[in-house]
Structure 1
């Protein structure tokens, strides 16, 4: 999903990428900018190591979360590196931020799996569900869950009132709605806060699922940015260029450094 296609239908969810590769995958990620959005990375198989000047070090594996609110502008891409697993798979999601946050300061969190609450077979990555609240500092009105349903079992998700943007995507196995959803496929549901029963028949199904109150703003799109209006996008792109200049100067002076901090 990208902001120019399905992102218009289920905003604030505007981008989704399923990544899958060997342990060199994090090292191949270049430094790049963002603004106006928050990025959420979850691991569905394997693990990655995080190293951040403000958050310390640790491991993100199944159920762990990297959250970054880009706000008015940031460059990042080297705070995650190879973990102990030979392969790593996961999702990166972008959510569009409301006007009061789209130009705010940068906010990052790295939460290992033990810090993310569980509701039945679901890890509550962001949001609140059935009396449980995620520690991730996301805007209200958005739920994002990482779910594994064992073979032969089913689970029903009841979206909170007003959560009319609803979708899911499978990373491993096969899910039945009762329609079959295979690995790498994404499903967008008709608007409405209706309960959805999901079943794994012959194999475990691993998937992410999002529900939210609709984002009532237009999407002003840049190369790595999503804002609510052209003026906010223009200001953020100017800030991104300024930060990029400082980043290039840092890299000139620290050419042999193996760790590059998040630049903001």
Structure 2
């Protein structure tokens, strides 16, 4: 991953400057824009970001995998995917639809989403580091179709609350995550809450003037503060996500699929993941049960 540090004041929004930008590193249909070991340390609780794009069939290649200590937030920006989960039913997630998975103390998942009706799919997956009270808590999943996600002007409120509108996602307080589409030449100003010192955005289609150019496939991290940013779509429509938060005041204890606030919590999460993995493998050895295992906890 290549991360470029911008001199403060060279690329500025209304009152904020971009301090880092990256185009990440590609892995087939997935571009890793942020990991807990790089930019995640700067803008935690946001610790991981993937931009995925390609033929919808790539979703079939997603293996079952574990998580603990985090929540994952999957947002669709183009096309659609079908969700199916024993506890939540089934349906379709398209532009603005959301999958929220609070892994907490441990979960294996990867098969709850499948190909929908579109040939291509694009979207973001974000990891959010959880506070101590939730990092080893029970699993909590939500699958929210776009029709239930609230809007404020050009923005869908994915996490948190903005301009008096609250997301239905059961996320911890202290962070906002918005999906925004601006028409060519349209401007929009994001005014974060006063204590949201962490601020970043990533563009999936088009380009933004901030006023410096942020192109599709790029992630930009703003300098700490509480100032607003004014963004304008350049030449054509732009689609992007923007996040702000009260800084996560804990260290990041990192495992292969886990992020916790301390080594003890990490050990507990990884032990739970291992225990669930044993049960999952035993479950899959029964031929009658191997067809579909969306989530195992």
Whether 1:217 and 2:250 are equivalent positions in the alignment is yes
Residue 16 (structure 1) aligns with: 49
When normalised by structure 2's length, the TM-score is 0.88
Question: Residue 62 of structure 1 is aligned with which of 84, 90, 95?
Answer: 95
Following the alignment from structure 1 to structure 2, what is the Cα–Cα distance between the partners of residues 256 and 6? 40
Following the alignment from structure 1 to structure 2, what is the Cα–Cα distance between the partners of residues 37 and 180? 32
Whether 1:236 and 2:236 are equivalent positions in the alignment is no
Residue 183 (structure 2) aligns with: 150
Contact 2:198/2:246 (<8 A) preserved: yes
Give the 3-state SS of the residue equivalent to 1:75 in structure 2: strand
Give the 3-state SS of the residue equivalent to 1:24 in structure 2: helix
- Deviation string for 1:70-109 (max 9, x for gaps)? 0000000000000000000000000000000000000000
Following the alignment from structure 2 to structure 1, what is the Cα–Cα distance between the partners of residues 191 and 66? 36
Give the 3-state SS of the residue equivalent to 2:295 in structure 1: coil
Residue 74 (structure 1) aligns with: 107
- Deviation string for 1:118-148 (max 9, x for gaps)? 0110000010111100000000011000000
Following the alignment from structure 2 to structure 1, what is the Cα–Cα distance between the partners of residues 99 and 62? 15
Report matched runs for 1:245-260 at 5 Å. Answer: 245-254=278-287, 257-260=290-293
- Deviation string for 1:191-244 (max 9, x for gaps)? 011110000121000000100000000000000000000000001101100000
Structure 2: gaps of 5 or more residues: 1-33
Question: Residue 42 of structure 1 is aligned with which of 52, 59, 75?
Answer: 75
Following the alignment from structure 1 to structure 2, what is the Cα–Cα distance between the partners of residues 201 and 3? 31
Following the alignment from structure 1 to structure 2, what is the Cα–Cα distance between the partners of residues 55 and 103? 22
Following the alignment from structure 1 to structure 2, what is the Cα–Cα distance between the partners of residues 196 and 243? 44
Following the alignment from structure 2 to structure 1, what is the Cα–Cα distance between the partners of residues 273 and 260? 14
Question: Residue 176 of structure 1 is aligned with which of 176, 198, 209?
Answer: 209
Give the 3-state SS of the residue equivalent to 2:280 in structure 1: helix
Whether 1:197 and 2:235 are equivalent positions in the alignment is no
Question: Residue 30 of structure 1 is aligned with which of 45, 52, 63?
Answer: 63
Contact 2:206/2:234 (<8 A) preserved: no
**CA pair 119-92 structure 1, distance change in 2 beyond 3 A:** same
Residue 186 (structure 1) aligns with: 219
Following the alignment from structure 1 to structure 2, what is the Cα–Cα distance between the partners of residues 172 and 149? 10
Question: Residue 4 of structure 1 is aligned with which of 37, 44, 62?
Answer: 37
Residue 119 (structure 1) aligns with: 152
Structure 1: gaps of 5 or more residues: none
Following the alignment from structure 2 to structure 1, what is the Cα–Cα distance between the partners of residues 166 and 291? 36
When normalised by structure 1's length, the TM-score is 0.99
Following the alignment from structure 2 to structure 1, what is the Cα–Cα distance between the partners of residues 216 and 288? 40
Q: RMSD of the alignment, in Å? A: 0.8
Query: Deviation of residue 255 (structure 1)?
Result: 5.8
Give the 3-state SS of the residue equivalent to 1:231 in structure 2: helix
Runs of 4+ in 1 over 4 A off after TM superposition: none
Query: Deviation of residue 258 (structure 1)?
Result: 3.0
Whether 1:262 and 2:295 are equivalent positions in the alignment is yes
